[in-house]
A and B are shown apart, each in its own frame.
Chain A
Amino acid sequence: MPRRSSLPVTFVVPTLVVLLILSMVPTLYAIVIALQNRELSSTAYSYVWFSNFVDLFFDRRFLNAVWVSVKWEVVTVVATMAVAIGLGVLMFEVASPRLRNIYCLLFIIPVLLPRVSAAFVWKFAYHPLYGIATYPYRLLTGGLIFDPLSKPATALFAVASVDVWQWGLFFAVIVLKLLETLPPQPIEAARLDHARRWQIHAYVTLPMLKAPLISLMFVKMIESLRSFDLIYVMTRGGPGVATETLDMYAFSQGFIESGKVSYASAMAVLMMIATVITFTMLWKRVQA
């Protein structure tokens, strides 16, 4: 590499300036809006400072949304990783190289779909009377009705299943590729010691992949924050507030129900602070 070249400066600086402007302007402006009392219906506004934030802490729907978001995050991340590791190991164990390639192609398809498409596909499938996914239940019970999307107890899991359908299958492919990069010697050694197949994976291969698996989980945690499309199409936060996550609640406060843009922005700012702090800390730990 030549020591003196203008290349790094000409290549990096314009891009960074654009990225900084595009990200900092909305971020800072979000904070400014959160300190005001803007509404969609009028152009007049004034500064109310922290009163939006104070209101939030007494808003039971907001606290519910926090709780739903946490549940969503935990359910989707855990289920995705479980599906990914389970199917990845299975492919590694029982599928021939040709079959592996076919499964890899099939498993990538769901994640490529727009979330809106995936949500529709499953909304149809979960329809209590005509859905293909509820058909086996109707068949077995002689026509009883099961409506997973309109029961508070099951709605979140029904929507989460779509997220896992998209990401779990995709991550299974990555887990398989990771397993394929491992050197064969430790596995051979364990086999010679008469370890069972599942023991080999539980005690040898998966611990060897600890670092990439944690990175994978990190990626899923970030992507799980983007639940809005699925929930918007499938349940709109309902039944009641059973699937109302923070972004859904912010959206409906800001644009559907009351047009309280500042209130919604205050919520978004809190989300932003929470995620940036959490993920920065996690990232530093993953890198260390």
Chain B
Amino acid sequence: MKLGRLIGKAVLAFAGFMAVFPLLWTALNSLKNNVDIITRVPRVVFTPTLANISYIIGRDSVMTGLYNSVIACGVAVLIGVVLGLPAAYAVARYPNRWAGDIQFFVLSLRFLPPVAVAIPLMVIWLQLGLYDTLAALIVTYSLLTISVIMWLAIPAFQAVPKEVEEAAFVDGYGAYSVFWRIALPVAARSLIGAVAFSFVLVWNEFLIALMLSSSNAKTLPIVASELSQQGMNVPWGILNASVVLLSLPPLLFLGVLSGFLNSVFRQKKT
């Protein structure tokens, strides 16, 4: 029994190590000169250099990619919030006979293979003269953000105690001010989690961005993947630095998202 627990703990510790070590190693490599990366025996002791990071930050393509990513994802998430949250509230609080169908429709958007959406959209944006623009990317991403925010916000609004809202109605609040002043603030914690999740989803998106951009509207994931297409010609340290840059924004949401997970499951318990 004791031995079993010990093995269990060892397996867990190994899994925890595996979860972060590859990423830490990449971060370490981004601080190395090429000679310290291309070694048969991995080097832990080396003279660190900031050359890779400053190269990445100094490159126009990377900065443009960063800018495009921030704008495209930021605006798409904003649209998702504006259109998704009210709709989710209405579905959660004013259920009618279509509520189930609406929820299923929103979920089913996730079944659509990205290629199936990206190919026709590419043709459409080309014909409209909007191919390779941020506007095209934002509109396309809005489909993702609206549906994901709506899907996650419906249970969040349902978890708000009905009594609170009913008390507000008794106090003479109208339907809209109950949404603004009661439901939104009370559900805020879960809603922020849902919004953060949608941001991470579009920030990480690759295929649609790849197909809808050729030069001007490239997002950071596309720029990073292009660096690697040059193979070994690009010093590995630079590639590692670009991976680190690309990974940082989603990781900023680690706290918010794990809090979101906790609140989702605490609701289920009660």
The answer on A and B forming one complex is yes
List residues of A whose CB falls within 8 A of some B CB: 1-2, 5-8, 10-12, 14-16, 18-19, 22-23, 25-27, 29-30, 32-33, 38, 87, 90-91, 93-95, 99, 102-110, 112-117, 120-125, 129-130, 132-133, 135, 138, 143, 165, 169, 172-174, 177-178, 180-181, 197, 222, 225-226, 228-229, 232-233, 246-247, 250-251, 254-255, 261, 264-265, 267-269, 271-272, 275-276, 279-280, 283
- Determine whether the beta carbon of B251 is less than 8 Å from that of A91: no
- Determine whether the beta carbon of B169 is less than 8 Å from that of A15: no
A-contacting residues, B225-270, CB 8 Å: 225, 228, 236, 239-240, 243, 246-247, 250-251, 253-254, 257-258, 261-262, 265, 268-269
Apart from A5-B174, A29-B123, A173-B261: 14 A-B pairs, beta carbons within 8 A: A8-B90, A18-B142, A22-B139, A90-B11, A93-B5, A99-B12, A108-B254, A114-B206, A117-B224, A165-B22, A229-B221, A246-B113, A246-B115, A265-B120
- Determine whether the beta carbon of B109 is less than 8 Å from that of A120: no
Q: How many A-B residue pairs have CB under 8 A?
A: 273
Cβ contacts under 8 Å, B115 to chain A:
228, 246-247, 250-251, 264, 267-268, 271
- Determine whether the beta carbon of A114 is less than 8 Å from that of B250: yes
Write the B175-188 contact mask toward A (1 if CB under 8 angstroms, else 0). 11001000000000
Assess A114 versus B246: contact at CB under 8 Å? Given A16-B87, A94-B9, A268-B115: yes
Assess A181 versus B254: contact at CB under 8 Å? Given A15-B146, A95-B12, A109-B19: no
Instruction: Kindly provide the distance from the CB of A86 to the nearest chain B CB, expressed in whole angstroms.
Output: 8
- Determine whether the beta carbon of A27 is less than 8 Å from that of B112: yes
Cβ contacts under 8 Å, B124 to chain A:
25-26, 29
Q: What total of chain B residues lie within 8 Å of the partner, measured CB to CB?
A: 95
Cβ contacts under 8 Å, A23 to chain B:
109, 112, 117, 143
A-contacting residues, B85-104, CB 8 Å: 86-87, 89-91, 93-94, 96, 102, 104
- Determine whether the beta carbon of A1 is less than 8 Å from that of B269: no
Cβ contacts under 8 Å, B143 to chain A:
19, 22-23
Most buried by A among B15, B108, B176: B15
- 18 contacting pairs across A/B (C-beta < 8 A): A12-B86, A16-B105, A19-B109, A27-B116, A104-B261, A107-B16, A112-B250, A112-B251, A116-B204, A117-B221, A172-B15, A177-B265, A180-B265, A222-B111, A232-B210, A271-B113, A280-B111, A283-B104
- Determine whether the beta carbon of A106 is less than 8 Å from that of B117: no
- Determine whether the beta carbon of B123 is less than 8 Å from that of A18: no
List residues of B whose CB falls within 8 A of some A CB: 4-5, 8-9, 11-12, 15-16, 18-20, 22-23, 25-26, 29, 37-42, 83-84, 86-87, 89-91, 93-94, 96, 102, 104-117, 119-124, 139-140, 142-143, 146-147, 150, 165-166, 169, 174-176, 179, 200, 203-204, 206-207, 210-211, 221, 224-225, 228, 236, 239-240, 243, 246-247, 250-251, 253-254, 257-258, 261-262, 265, 268-269
Complex Cα spacing A283 to B112, Å: 15
Complex Cα spacing A172 to B269, Å: 18
Instruction: Kindly provide the distance from the CB of A242 to the nearest chain B CB, expressed in whole angstroms.
Output: 20
Pairs A-B, 5 closest by C-beta atoms: A15-B87, A29-B120, A268-B116, A11-B90, A11-B86
- Determine whether the beta carbon of B111 is less than 8 Å from that of A275: yes
Complex Cα spacing A11 to B262, Å: 29
Complex Cα spacing A171 to B20, Å: 16
CB < 8 Å neighbour of B114 from A117, A174, A228: A228
CB < 8 Å neighbour of B243 from A12, A15, A32, A120: A120
- Determine whether the beta carbon of A113 is less than 8 Å from that of B117: no
Instruction: Kindly provide the distance from the CB of A91 to the nearest chain B CB, expressed in whole angstroms.
Output: 6
CB < 8 Å neighbour of B23 from A1, A113, A232, A251: A113
CB < 8 Å neighbour of B19 from A138, A143, A169, A233: A169
Assess A268 versus B142: contact at CB under 8 Å? Given A2-B169, A29-B123: no
